[in-house]
Amino acid sequence: MTTNLEPIASGLWSDEAQPHLLAGQSADGQIFFPIPDGDSGKNLDIIKLSRSGILWSFTRQDFKPKPPYDGPEEFKPFLLGYIELPGQIIVESHIIDTTLEELRIGMAMEFVITPFDDKRSTYAFRPEQTS
């Protein structure tokens, strides 16, 4: 799913037909996501992260996050997980297009861009769609 909404933050994903999350990689091979602002991110090479990964851990967020939460006024519970991008990094992400009961540690997940609110988009992962 792609969207024409403004990204929730700049520099999170690439601007191409099949977008990728963007990370910073240091000279010693360490990967950072999101890319740090300021001097912390200054000497990092920008790399594309894998569009697919494995569900490492998950939960359901049943309460509105504390400030500076910047989401829709009407809070709706959502799924949240850690996705291991093999050989790269584990990223925290919303999980969409599934239910808590359907999730399983180790299941294949894929990167998507999804609406965050009426004006902005964010990234998420969903169970891998088989054709």
pTM (two decimals): 0.89
Structural domains of the chain, count? 1
Per-residue pLDDT tens for 9-47? 989 999 999 999 999 999 999 999 999 988 888 899 999
Query: Does some domain include residue 33?
Result: yes
Structure token digits, residue 61: 């967020």
Does residue 23 contact residue 55 with C-beta atoms inside 8 Å? no
Place of tokens 């520099």: 11
**Element counts in the chain: helices (H) and strands (E):** 0, 9
Give the pLDDT score at 117.
84
Query: Does some domain include residue 114?
Result: yes
Query: Does some domain include residue 20?
Result: yes
Give the pLDDT score at 12.
94
Query: Does some domain include residue 1?
Result: no
Contacts of residue 121, defined as CB under 8 A and 6 or more positions apart, other chains included, come to: 3, 5, 6, 7, 8, 113, 114, 115
Per-residue pLDDT tens for 100-120? 999 999 999 999 999 988 899
Give the pLDDT score at 2.
52
Query: Does some domain include residue 99?
Result: yes
Query: Does some domain include residue 39?
Result: yes
Go through 17-35 and write b for each residue having 16 or more CB atoms within 10 A of its CB, e for each that does not: eebebbbbbeeeeebebeb
What domain range is 15 assigned to?
6-127
3-state DSSP assignment of residue 11 = coil
Query: Does some domain include residue 109?
Result: yes
Query: Does some domain include residue 75?
Result: yes
